[in-house]
Amino acid sequence: MKNKAGFTLLETIISCGIFSLILGGIFAICNISDKVYRQENGLLDKVQNVRAIMENISREIRQAKVDDLNLGTEKSNITIEIPILVQNEDGTYKYVPCSVTYNLDGANITRNNRVIARNIQDLTFSKQTSSSLIKISLTSVESYLAKPFTLVSEVKLRNF
């Protein structure tokens, strides 16, 4: 009498092979998904950092007067005078001018010679002759996680 309750060796090998193919496919899909996730997460981090830097630069430029604005000859640096609130010895407050310089130094943006952003390919400031608008263009460098991108902002000087 033959016992037909079990599996043959051939059936077990075939089912293990099919199961291995299915697991291999699932692993490949998970691997691709993880790679895409890392790339998009890297790009998102980069965009958020560049936006924060752009917002800080824009905020300080908005505070400047046109007379206190000095665009560099290479258009990759700008010097502005912004008012800073300080307390006097008698307890009163007054505004004093503070000079701030933004510069593209290699692949870094510096504020008063202190690095505030890295991996920047291009930083450009431009101003129309009779306008109170400053155009800022900032381009990141390409990395293995993210392609380069450019942010452009137009800032209207408030103290014009």
**What local confidence, expressed as pLDDT, does residue 7 receive?**
82
User: What's the domain count of the chain?
Assistant: 1
1 domain residue, yes or no: no
Question: In order along the chain (160 residues), what is the average pLDDT of each group of 10 residues?
Answer: 75 95 96 90 83 92 76 80 90 90 92 91 84 87 74 80
53-58 long-range contacts (CB < 8 A, ≥24 apart) are 53/109, 53/116, 53/117, 53/138, 54/136, 54/138, 54/151, 54/153, 56/116, 57/102, 57/136, 58/136, 58/153, 58/155
Instruction: State in Å, rounded, how far the first CA of the chain is from the last one.
Output: 103
Give the CA angle between residues 58, 64, 67 to the nearest 5°: 135
Which has the closest alpha carbon to 116: 92, 131, 129, 100?
100
In degrees and rounded to multiples of 5, residue 30 shows phi and psi of: -65, -40
pLDDT at residue number 40: 84
d(CA 66, CA 100): 14
pLDDT, residue 75, reads: 83
pLDDT of residue 56: 93
Whether 29 is in a domain gets the answer yes
Does residue 57 lie in a domain region? yes
Does the residue 116 lie in any domain? Answer: yes
Q: pTM for this structure?
A: 0.71
pLDDT given at position 49 = 86
The domain containing residue 43 runs over which residues? 9-156
The Cα 55–Cα 94 span in angstroms is 25
Does residue 2 lie within any of the structural domains? Answer: no
Is residue 3, in this structure, part of any structural domain at all? no
